[in-house]
């Protein structure tokens, strides 16, 4: 017997959360071992370790409480990784030395697995004077390019890609360039972008008034506020970015407004944080708490909810003490305020089980009531912890109770905080739970609607064959088990049929009792009128949301889920869907069930790479494996006598080999490497400009794949060729990105790479 209700749940656990030795031998024999490992690790800070280990295990059992992936994968393993999901880095100083000190801190944080956020509003705009050097500033976007390049070379701990959020104030002189950045198909791919929108700006938009773009007290430009708003709206309509963060509302509501100012969020936006702020995440699985689902007496058990929330808060508070931190400043910030982010997943499934249509007024009211109950239980549990272990160090009763969130809190909770203090400064946040929700049996993610009732996926086996499996939403599967082929009721809606303003209604209902923020995507139909699209954002502002992110599928953004033409359907449902979060072949999901085994001997080839201006060559060996008569890359070794390259070549070797050994379509490795540009400039090799040494390595891997028949030819079989996009962006040929201004205008002039936009020259 197994606790997993679906094959995909077990495979997610095996791939992402199961503790294994470096050689792949599992320490966690079963998922119960994983729950026990986490419970034991988080009970170590308790006086009665055995008691709390058992209680924590009970909360984790059967996927009732779902700590975020960092905790699930890292707790109790002894690995040097952080258990925190979210970081906002220190304030970026407006000087070169400080900027690159912050870049180093970002790299260290991402290396341990943290997603990071940055406010780039503190860097002077492009063209501003740089005193003492007689030059003009290159502006914040040029430094964001440097961060982007760094992120491309670092993989977060485990299998998660590096993630970054960049914010910029709506009154920064470079805000128009920031808004338009994602119009460039290859720029800032590792960033999510959001504009910090102030209440003053929104008032100016409504009044169609002027808006000053200011830095350090100097007005650089004055534009119409509505024109700038329309630029933001047009960019996100076309490219799904930037998002919008209502920063004044965030600071006004913050429980800690008396001792911190927030200007950035983590990559998904659910955690607005101060400089060096850190937060951990976890979710209550609402679908597990519904009693008598689909019956007239269906209800969510509040007794079970209160008990589970209390245990979850204690576990998460213990993570603050149990976790490692990439930087001491992050550890100090976390321990001074003891922020946690307790949220929910499976909300849409729970609403279906009690007979409510997601997006209806009744569902919004029920969501508000459930989130209110969670907030009460969490705050009272934290008060109990304060009685036992003490309040968070920066607690100031008068200032804390005067904050925006606490002024709206229930009087009995306010009284308890006033008398005993509170252990955690902020307690609630709703994160994206895509992978965790699959691990829990494909419950609906976060507070999102059910996206697809069912979809099919194909699993690639070690022998090259594929098996086909259906993945069904948790609530739909329960309906099937109870009623067989009976048609789904009308209140079963999914994201394909939900009106955008219904999304906003649900987000606003949840936000009333979430003291941090919410990660939610408002799905819009491709043919939504631009004026209707803008109304989504205005409604989000008017109804109390702290931010807004939309997704409109089009030729540029693609589709989160692509509709397959399968004739097999769940009764009463839309066509089956395919999730876009995983590698797909021919519109179908393809997973590797296990890594490929390594034979004793492999055939391969070694290539010599001589990078200009380097004293030593780099040697790249690619070994292949043969499956079903077809040769495919299996492992890579990179060697050089230049010790400067030692660390990153070893890391690159291990990461690429790990990807190759998973099988499937690995051509994306070539794609990613070829897209990396070096801010110091690339080199011309064999008549072609190569933007970085990593891009050159990607070219050699592509060459090898072509030679063994894995790819048909250069640039073929890849999702896209980044350099081809650079060359063909709108008419006249363009070159690689300029390290000074970021424009794609570098070209050869008198033997030297020179930027046609700003005049920057590699030769000085």
Name the token pair of 389: 């272990």
User: DSSP letter string over 733-753?
Assistant: ---SPPTTT--S-EEEETTEE
d(CA 526, CA 704): 40
Residues in CB range of 663: below 8 A, 6 or more apart: 460, 462, 592, 595, 596, 627, 632
Q: What are phi and psi of 162, to 5 degrees?
A: -60, 145
Using a 10 angstrom Cβ sphere, with 0-12 exposed, 13-18 middle and 19 or more buried, the burial of residue 594 is middle
Tell me which of 270, 635, 672, 702 is the catalytic residue.
Answer: 270
Q: String of b and e for 41-80 (b: at least 16 CB within 10 Å)?
A: bbbeebeeeeebbebbbbbbeebbbbbbbbbbbbbbeeee
User: CA angle at residue 405 from 404 to 408, to 5 degrees?
Assistant: 95
**Residue 266 annotated among the catalytic residues of the structure:** yes
- Rounded CA separation 586/578 (Å): 11
Burial grade of 549 (CB within 10 A; 0-12, 13-18, 19 or more): buried
Query: Which among 113, 442, 167, 118 is positioned nearest to 281, based on CA atoms?
Result: 113
> Pick the catalytic residue: 86, 151, 170, 268?
268
The alpha carbon of 7 is separated from its chain's Cα centroid by a whole number of angstroms, namely 25
Residue pair 105/112 in contact (Cβ under 8 Å)? The answer is no
d(CA 196, CA 513): 22
Look up residue 235 and give its two tokens.
Answer: 């960019």
Q: How far apart are CA 463 and CA 460, in angstroms?
A: 8
Compute the distance between CA of residue 452 and CA of residue 581 in angstroms, rounded to an integer: 14
CA distance 185 to 556: 9
Distances (CA, A) of 371 to 250, 254, 317, 367: 18, 18, 20, 6
Burial class of 301 by CB neighbour count within 10 A (0 to 12, 13 to 18, 19+): middle
Question: CA-to-CA distance for 462 and 591, rounded, in angstroms?
Answer: 11
Which segments of 402-473 are extended strands (E)?
454-460, 466-472
Active site (annotated) includes residue 151: no
- Cα Rg of the chain (Å, integer): 26
Q: How far is CA 78 from CA 15, 116, 330, 462, in A?
A: 19, 23, 20, 31
Name the token pair of 689.
């400009």
Helix (H) or strand (E) holding 713: none
Helix (H, G, I), strand (E, B) or coil at 626: strand
CB atoms within 10 A of CB 712: 10
Q: Which two tokens stand for residue 688?
A: 């072609």
Sign of CA dihedral 391, 394, 399, 404: negative
CA dihedral 223, 229, 232, 235 (to 10 degrees): -100
Euclidean distance between the first and the last CA atom of the chain, given in angstroms as a whole number: 69
At 620, phi and psi to the nearest 5? Answer: -115, 120
Collapsed DSSP state (helix, strand, coil) of residue 188? coil
Give residues with Cβ within 8 angstroms of 481, minimum separation 6: none
Query: Which one from 255, 266, 424, 494 is the annotated catalytic residue?
Result: 266
Contacts of 684-687 spanning 24+ positions with Cβ under 8 A: 684/612, 684/748, 685/612
Dihedrals φ, ψ of 646, to 5°? -60, -55
Token pair 């059967």 is at which residue? 62
- Residue 686 is encoded by which pair of tokens? 């064999």
Residue 535 appears among annotated catalytic residues:
no
User: Could you list the active site residues?
Assistant: 266, 268, 270
């Amino acid at each position: 017997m197994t606790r997993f209700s679906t094959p995909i749940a077990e495979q997610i656990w095996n791939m992402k959360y199961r503790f294994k030795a470096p050689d792949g031998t599992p320490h966690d024999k079963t998922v119960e071992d994983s729950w026990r490992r986490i419970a034991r690790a988080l009970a170590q800070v308790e006086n009665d370790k055995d008691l709390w280990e058992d209680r924590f295990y009970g909360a984790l059992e059967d996927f009732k409480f779902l700590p975020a992936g960092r905790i699930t994968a890292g707790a109790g393993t002894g690995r040097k990784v952080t258990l925190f999901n979210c970081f906002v880095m220190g304030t970026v100083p407006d000087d070169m030395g400080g900027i690159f000190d912050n870049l180093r801190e970002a790299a260290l944080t991402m290396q341990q697995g943290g997603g990071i956020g940055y406010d780039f509003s503190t860097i002077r705009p492009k063209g501003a004077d740089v005193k003492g050097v007689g030059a003009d500033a290159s502006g914040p976007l040029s430094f964001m390019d440097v961060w982007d390049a760094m992120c491309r070379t670092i993989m977060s701990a485990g299998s998660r890609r590096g993630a970054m959020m960049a914010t910029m104030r709506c009154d920064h002189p470079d805000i128009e360039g920031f808004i338009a950045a994602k119009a460039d198909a290859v720029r800032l791919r590792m960033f999510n972008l959001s504009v910090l929108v102030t209440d003053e700006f929104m008032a100016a938009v409504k009044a169609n008034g002027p808006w000053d773009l200011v830095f350090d007290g100097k007005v650089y430009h004055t534009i119409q506020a509505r024109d700038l708003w329309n630029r933001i709206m047009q960019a996100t309509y076309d490219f799904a970015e930037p998002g919008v963060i209502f920063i004044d509302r965030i600071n006004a509501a913050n429980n800690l407004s008396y001792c911190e100012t927030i200007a950035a969020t983590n990559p998904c936006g659910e955690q607005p944080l101060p400089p060096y702020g850190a937060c951990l995440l976890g979710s209550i699985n609402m679908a597990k708490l519904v009693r008598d689902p689909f019956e007239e007496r269906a209800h969510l058990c509040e007794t079970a909810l209160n008990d589970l929330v209390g245990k979850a808060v204690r576990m998460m508070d213990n993570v603050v003490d149990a976790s490692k931190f990439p930087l001491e400043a992050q550890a100090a910030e976390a321990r001074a305020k003891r922020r946690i982010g307790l949220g929910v997943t499976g909300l849409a499934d729970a609403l279906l089980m009690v007979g409510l249509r997601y997006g209806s007024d009744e569902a919004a009211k029920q969501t508000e009531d459930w989130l209110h109950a969670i907030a009460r239980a969490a705050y009272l549990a934290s008060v109990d912890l304060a009685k036992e272990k003490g309040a968070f160090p920066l607690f100031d009763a008068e200032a804390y109770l005067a904050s925006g969130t606490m002024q709206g809190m229930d009087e009995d909770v306010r009284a308890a905080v006033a008398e005993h203090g509170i252990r955690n400064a902020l307690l609630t946040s709703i994160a994206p739970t895509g992978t965790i929700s699959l691990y829990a049996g494909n419950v609906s993610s976060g507070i999102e609607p059910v996206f697809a009732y069912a979809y099919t996926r194909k699993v690639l086996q070690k022998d090259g064959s594929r098996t086909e499996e259906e993945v069904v939403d948790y609530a739909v599967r329960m309906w099937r088990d109870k009623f067989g082929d009976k048609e789904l009721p009308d209140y079963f809606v999914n994201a394909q049929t939900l009106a955008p303003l219904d999304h906003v209604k649900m987000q606003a209902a949840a936000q009333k009792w979430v003291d941090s923020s919410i990660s939610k995507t408002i799905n819009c139909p491709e043919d939504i009128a631009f004026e209707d699209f803008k109304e989504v954002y205005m409604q989000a502002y008017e109804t109390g949301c702290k931010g807004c992110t939309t997704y409109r599928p089009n030729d540029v953004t693609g589709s989160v889920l692509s509709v397959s033409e399968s004739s097999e359907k769940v009764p009463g449902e839309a066509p089956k869907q395919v999730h876009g979060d995983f590698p797909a072949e021919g519109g179908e999901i393809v997973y590797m069930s296990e890594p490929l085994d390594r034979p004793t001997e492999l055939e391969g080839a070694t290539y010599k790479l001589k990078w200009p201006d380097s004293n030593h060559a780099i040697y790249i060996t690619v070994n292949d494996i043969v499956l079903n008569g077809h040769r495919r890359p299996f492992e890579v070794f990179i060697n050089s006598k230049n010790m400067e390259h030692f660390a990153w070549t070893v890391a690159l070797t291990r990461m690429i080999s790990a990807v190759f050994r998973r099988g499937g379509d690995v051509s994306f490795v070539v794609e990613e490497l070829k897209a990396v540009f070096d801010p110091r400039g690339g080199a011309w090799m064999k008549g072609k400009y190569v933007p970085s040494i990593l891009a050159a390595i990607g070219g050699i891997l592509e060459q090898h794949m072509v030679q063994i028949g894995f790819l048909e030819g250069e640039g073929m079989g890849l999702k896209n060729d980044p350099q081809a996009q650079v060359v063909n962006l709108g008419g006249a040929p363009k070159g690689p990105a300029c390290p000074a201004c970021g424009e794609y205008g570098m070209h050869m002039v008198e033997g030297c790479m020179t930027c046609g936009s700003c005049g920057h020259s590699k030769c000085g």
